[in-house]
Amino acid sequence: MDIIINISGALCLIIGSFLCISGGIGILRFPDFYTRMHAVGVTDTLGAGMVLIGLMFYSPDFLIFSKLVMILLLTLLIGPTTSHVLAKAAMHNGLMPELAQNDNNKNMD
């Protein structure tokens, strides 16, 4: 039982850190605002979520476990909302995705 908990906890932590790192690389490498938004969204929802779940496996008592559950719920609620609001604000201010801009340019040509 112990070994199963240990392994699954470690697996979650590794997946979470991988997602965080890939999200970080994504912010630097992606071409335009919206794809970068996607990278950020992955980092702070799925990456942080997996790390929190991994930590839940290792939590020594129920109190810490329940605190982690609360933090997870909070991130699941706030992360997607902030991404949504940011994207909406960008859209509202007339920032077009790079691909759409390219299409427009082609049409003009």
Residues that bind another protein (CB under 8 A): 77-78, 81, 84-85, 88, 92
User: Which pair of structure tokens corresponds to residue 19?
Assistant: 């997602």
| Residue keyed to tokens 């201010």 | 93
The rounded Cα 56 to chain-centroid distance in angstroms is 18
Instruction: Report, in Å, the least distance between residue 3 CB and another protein.
Output: 30
- Name the minimum Å distance from CB 13 to another protein: 18
CB 67 within 8 A of CB 32: no
Nearer to another protein, 40 or 57 (CB): 40
Instruction: Look at residue 57 and give its three-state secondary structure.
Output: helix
Q: How many CB atoms lie within 10 A of CB 37?
A: 19
Q: Which is nearer to another protein, 5 or 64 (CB)?
A: 64
Cβ proximity to another protein: between 87 and 96 the closer is: 87
Give the shortest CB-35-to-another protein separation in angstroms: 20
